[in-house]
Amino acid sequence: MTAGEVAVAAKVYDGNRKAEVSGGKLNGLIEGDQVDTTRAGEFADKNAGKGKDVAVMLGLSGADAGNYQLDGAQRQAKGDITPKTVTAGEVAVAAKVYDGNRKAEVSGGKLNGLIAGDQVDTTRAGEFADKNAGKGKDVAVTLGLSGADAGNYQLDGAQRQAKGDITPKTVTAGEVAVAAKVYDGNRKAEVSGGKLNGLIAGDQVDTTRAGEFADKNAGKAKDVAVTLGLSGADAGNYQLDGAQRQVKGDITPKTLQTTPLVVKDKYFDGSREAQLESPGLIGVVAGDSVQAQAKGQFDDLLAGEGKQVSVKLNLDGVDAGNYQLAQNPVEARGRIQGLDTQGQTAGLVLKPQGGNGTGGAGHGNAGGNGGGNGGGNGGANAGGTVAGLQGANALPATGPASSLLALADGAGAGAAVAVDGSQQLLRNGGQLSMSLAGHAPSETVQNVLPLFRDAGANGGLDRLGHYLVQDQGDSLSLVPRSLAEAELPQLDSQAVSARAETLLDLGRGETASMTLELLANGTLRAAMPPQAAQLGTELLSAHGLSALKRKAGVSVDQVRSIVLRFDAKR
């Protein structure tokens, strides 16, 4: 008998070769006999595949099977083994340092559902959404299968979405330099250099530089704080190591121009000193405190027009150190007028003689009509005289010269007073000339000083006018000047830079002490008892300046103002 066609059912891979066979209907059975077909099938191998060879063995079973034999019991058929579906566990993306590409390193994805003993592993591929640094970035993950038995499986959920981080790449910058700049009133510094090392080829990243000097002032090798940064399309993918730097840089003084110099006309006074208006400055940074001080000398001391004046300029003020002058010294022109001697005392121009007690003569002249008498004492040894003139009348004054001042007063009254030191004095109204014993002649040092009287705690300061003070080494003169009202000096919170004390002889056996203090702002503060006021403010001022020079070494050009205080407690 024969059997009909057989069929092999497709199966899911299960790791063995068994095949499920159907069909094989028997032909040629005697009616009524009980005979069935038996079927056994085996794939050529266990692996998944389509149209695989299957060896089929047919047989007979049943009560009457022994009465038959089957023709074509061995058959060859075809059948399919489909891959078994497996799943993969969770995956993770490792953080990476920016490297200019999108590749991601993926781990995890353990396989579930493998047949025991099969050799199958997970393959993993990941790609960031873009190459740029960032946290929690999208990563597309593709899982796959590998290994000897991988072909027998298919992976469910091979495409995944995960998250991962790309951290910025650290780069370094080379040396930086600070350009020297001209003072401009601010702390900004221009920085160069800082070339970047460690960039990915093709990335667009530049160095940003910001610098600030420790202060705005001019100076060499000044500290500069430099901050470096990154800019450019790819700057966000990098971080800079050593962004804060300390370097050195120079701020050079700014050069200033001055307005034209103006030399004030003056009368012949026996000196070469020139008085100038302080010039204005061109180019000062807004808000800075700086002024120009001018000191000049005529080429000679003679009267004349258009005389050459050599001028030395100095800068003064809080910000003076930040500037320099374009031209210094400079030349100017000025006029010295001849003296109108009418009504002048000769002793104000001529150096007093007999200051050393050697019997010289001093003359005071006063214009006027009529007669009168005036007495003056002292001023010469061994019969020397100092004469005062009122009109045509001589006023002889004799006496020892060791300590007395002989005052020849053009107003007609001579008074003998004594002060500390051997001195002689000529006086005409507010004008005064004092010889300085023990001092040699020298080049004239002059200054215009405002004079004040301290009226006490509640009275403030009284202005007593201005005086041109001229120190010629062996003599000191004071000449009144009509100038604009002086600014009151600051006395409080001023340090004392020099001190001296001298003795005043008030006559009739009375003496008084004068205490001198030079304050830091140049104010000479002279304190004495009220009875000293009889000597007059000009004489007290002259004597104070003389004593300060003699005992403390302070020149008249170091003084800015004089304040006289008559203190009853002294």
DSSP 4-29: --EEE--EE--SS-EE-EEE--EESP
**Average pLDDT in the 182-193 region?**
98
The β-bridge relationship of strands 330-337 and 323-325 is unpaired
Edge to edge, the sheet with strand 304-316 lists: 266-267, 330-337, 304-316, 291-298, 273-274
Cα(193)–Cα(431) distance, integer angstroms: 70
Q: Is the pLDDT reported for residue 43 higher than 90?
A: yes
CB 110 within 8 A of CB 122: yes
SS3 per residue for 401-431: CCCEEEEEECCCCCEEEEECCCCCEEEECCE
Share of the chain above pLDDT 90, in %: 69
Q: Is the pLDDT reported for residue 420 higher than 70?
A: no
pLDDT bin (cut points 50, 70, 90) of residue 268 is confident
Q: Is the pLDDT reported for residue 508 higher than 90?
A: no
Give me the pLDDT at residue 56, please: 98
User: What would the two tokens of residue 148 be?
Assistant: 């000897």
Please classify residue 504 by burial: count the beta carbons closer than 10 Å to its beta carbon, then call 0-12 exposed, 13-18 middle and 19+ buried: buried
Please state the domain extents for the chain: 2-82, 85-167, 170-252, 255-337, 346-412, 445-566
Cα(274)–Cα(291) distance, integer angstroms: 19
Where does 273-329 show beta strands of DSSP type E?
273-274, 276-277, 281-282, 291-298, 304-316, 323-325
Q: Is the pLDDT reported for residue 378 higher than 60?
A: no
What residues are paired with 336 via a beta bridge? 266, 304
The β-bridge relationship of strands 445-454 and 561-566 is parallel
| Window from 24-38, 140-154, 256-270, 351-365 with minimum mean pLDDT | 351-365
pLDDT bin (cut points 50, 70, 90) of residue 428 is low
Q: Is the pLDDT reported for residue 457 higher than 90?
A: no
Q: Is the pLDDT reported for residue 358 higher than 80?
A: no
Q: Is the pLDDT reported for residue 91 higher than 90?
A: yes
Q: pLDDT digit string (tens) for 98-116?
A: 999 999 999 999 999 999 9
**Average pLDDT in the 373-384 region?**
33
What single letter denotes the amino acid at residue 208? T
Angle at CA 12, nearest 5°, toward 8 and 13?
105
Beta-carbon contacts of residue 509 (< 8 Å; ≥ 6 apart): none
Q: Please tell me which residue, 346 or 79, carries the higher pLDDT value.
A: 79
| Window from 153-157, 334-338, 354-358, 507-511 with minimum mean pLDDT | 354-358
Q: Is the pLDDT reported for residue 439 higher than 90?
A: no
User: What would the two tokens of residue 192 be?
Assistant: 């160069």
pLDDT bin (cut points 50, 70, 90) of residue 482 is confident
Instruction: Kindly calculate the radius of gyration of the chain based on its CA atoms and give it in whole angstroms.
Output: 58
| Window from 237-251, 256-270, 424-438, 504-518 with minimum mean pLDDT | 424-438
pLDDT bin (cut points 50, 70, 90) of residue 191 is very high
Please classify residue 553 by burial: count the beta carbons closer than 10 Å to its beta carbon, then call 0-12 exposed, 13-18 middle and 19+ buried: exposed
DSSP 342-364: TT--GGGTSPPS-TTSSS--EEE
**Average pLDDT in the 115-128 region?**
97
pLDDT bin (cut points 50, 70, 90) of residue 568 is confident
Run of H or E including 212: strand 206-213
Average pLDDT score over the chain: 84
Run of H or E including 538: helix 537-552
What residues are paired with 312 via a beta bridge? 295
Give me the pLDDT at residue 523, please: 96
Cα(289)–Cα(284) distance, integer angstroms: 9
pLDDT bin (cut points 50, 70, 90) of residue 243 is very high
Give me the pLDDT at residue 380, please: 32
**Average pLDDT in the 532-550 region?**
91
Give me the pLDDT at residue 128, please: 98
**Average pLDDT in the 41-51 region?**
97
CB 308 within 8 A of CB 333: yes
Residue with tokens 């070339």: 195
Q: pLDDT digit string (tens) for 299-323?
A: 887 788 999 999 999 999 999 999 9
The β-bridge relationship of strands 84-88 and 111-112 is antiparallel
Query: What's the whole-model pTM score?
Result: 0.51
Q: Is the pLDDT reported for residue 359 higher than 70?
A: no
Give me the pLDDT at residue 424, please: 64
Q: pLDDT digit string (tens) for 59-82?
A: 999 999 999 999 989 999 999 999
Cα(76)–Cα(56) distance, integer angstroms: 6
